[in-house]
Amino acid sequence: MFKNKNKSETSSIPRKVTFTEAMVLLLIIVAIMIWTALIAKAPTAMGVLYCAIVCGVYGILMGFKWDDMFASVLNVVKTAMPALYFLMLVGFVSASWIASGTIPYMIYLGLKIIHPSIFLFAAFLLTAIAAMVTGSSWAIVTSLGLALGGISTGLGIPLQIAAGAIVSGCFLGDKWSPLSDTPNLSAASTGQNIIKLFTSMIPTSGFGSILAGIGFLVMGLITSTNNSADTRAVVELMNGLSSNFNFNILLLIPVIFVFVMAALKFSILPILSIGVGIGMVEAMIFQGKTFAQLTGIVWNGYVSETGIQVIDSLLSRGGAMSIAGLVMLLFAAFTFAGLIEKIGVLDAIMEKLLKLIKSTGSLILCSLITSIATVFLSSSVYVSIILNGRMYEKAYKNKGLDIINLSRTITEGSAYFGAICPWSGGALLVISSLGVAPWSYLPFVFGCWGSLFFTVLWGYTGKYLPKAEYDEDGNLINIDQFDPVIS
């Protein structure tokens, strides 16, 4: 009687996947994502959802109950809810700040630094600022990037070098912008605050951008041969912006307010809400918008109708509805992450990887390498962030590291490679916009190499790595709150 009962109870306990099964499932996931991106040309969220279905079906076949698997999904969603609220506000921020003239004014100020002798540095800095304030590397590549590529030809600067500067700036701004999907996904996947992630990247992306800036200044001095080149495209762009918006220094108030209050550690959600309010008030005062118009703009997005293609492409964005696709992607990602984690795929892979990881430095390096590899295997930055963010969480906790280190590492290891992997969407966009192949501008993406260098350096030296304490169940007990920039 008792033996049969024990046997029955034992047989009802689901087993987790083996390493071989995990690798097979991983290959299936990669195949699905490549098919989604390159053949079906469907949204990334659909590919992630198909991967979730595969994992869910396999889990049921292994004996897992759906209620237990769905509970794991809800647990992941719970950790990411603050990021979802933040994303909703991001859509309001971008639309209101474009309508007020704040974002156009920042781009206008950036365009003023264009000069033949420092073109590469200026292209890097301008695209970084533009991508940061708009939250979109793709929009900047196809607008400002395209214009800057034409200017570089007139300056006699090799296009592949100019492309390296443009890609460096666009994707630096994208991964370092609170308005961008990439860092928000990284923060959400690891349950972190986006502003905390932004700050933690100063020693990696920040220091890396300084190296990149120096590199582009030197390259500019070497390659600049025609200081009387035609820069009419820049002048036309500046004139187009100034003629369609009333510019003044007060337009910078919303940006300064948000960054100062965030630096003073005030809660980010109410601060962003106030920033939206300031932007809307300035839009009514300086740009002549009515409150009714602004209500539609912050919900549906700003539509630029200047008649200048580059400006209209650059500024037609924002609004709550603009992040609807990303929210759907996040829910698909959380479903996938919860299911793949519950059936043990990540544990099986990490069990093997942990045998190679002996130190904090090797953990940082390993998670960096697998993040890069996942982009090349899946052609998706999003999949890389989701998989690696969930896979390494326990390992980082076991090393006594604040999970913000994981969020930072997977961001550094994935964001730039969306523009470097030849079959990824970002790289295909660069190819079509600038007419250069990824391998030709690869050596000149100084922003990427600089941030990777500092990520690995701090991993092995232990500097700028916030620490934390956890209990046996992985719950946070204590966290080192030092500022990673000045400590």
What does the pLDDT look like over 337-386, one tens digit per residue? 788 878 888 778 878 887 778 889 999 999 999 899 888 876 778 878 88
Q: Considering the domain boundaries, does residue 485 fall inside one?
A: no
Do residues 446 and 216 lie in contact, with contact meaning Cβ atoms separated by under 8 Å? yes
Please give the single-letter amino acid code of residue 242: S
Q: Considering the domain boundaries, does residue 52 fall inside one?
A: no
Domain span holding position 141: 81-318
- Which tokens is 50 given? 């198909």
Q: Considering the domain boundaries, does residue 340 fall inside one?
A: no
pLDDT for residue 98: 87
The pTM (predicted TM-score) of the whole model is 0.71
Do residues 345 and 91 lie in contact, with contact meaning Cβ atoms separated by under 8 Å? no
Q: What's the number of domains the chain is made of?
A: 1
> Which pLDDT tens digit goes with each residue over 91-105?
788 889 889 998 888
Do residues 197 and 95 lie in contact, with contact meaning Cβ atoms separated by under 8 Å? no
Q: CA 103 to CA 110: how far, in whole Å?
A: 11
Q: Considering the domain boundaries, does residue 99 fall inside one?
A: yes
Question: How many Cα atoms sit within 13 Å of 326 on the Cβ side?
Answer: 26
Report which of 397, 342, 447 is spatially closest to residue 70, judged by C-alpha positions: 342
Q: Considering the domain boundaries, does residue 143 fall inside one?
A: yes
Q: Considering the domain boundaries, does residue 472 fall inside one?
A: no
Q: CA 368 to CA 484: how far, in whole Å?
A: 19
Q: Considering the domain boundaries, does residue 180 fall inside one?
A: yes
Q: Considering the domain boundaries, does residue 481 fall inside one?
A: no
From the number of C-beta atoms within 10 Å of its C-beta (0-12, 13-18, 19+), residue 23 rates as middle
User: Can you tell me the mean pLDDT for 424-435?
Assistant: 76
Q: CA 247 to CA 249: how far, in whole Å?
A: 7
> Which pLDDT tens digit goes with each residue over 7-66?
444 445 777 778 888 888 888 988 888 888 778 888 878 888 898 899 999 989 888 888
Q: CA 297 to CA 286: how far, in whole Å?
A: 16
Write out the DSSP string of 325-336: HHHHHHHHHHHH
Within 428-467, strands assigned E span none
Check pLDDT > 60 for residue 246: yes
User: Can you tell me the mean pLDDT for 130-156?
Assistant: 74
Task: Name the band, by pLDDT with cuts 50, 70 and 90, for residue 296.
Answer: very high
Torsion angle of alpha carbons 141, 143, 147, 152, nearest 10°? Answer: -10
Beta carbons within 8 Å of 152's beta carbon, 6+ residues apart = 119, 123, 158, 159, 161, 162
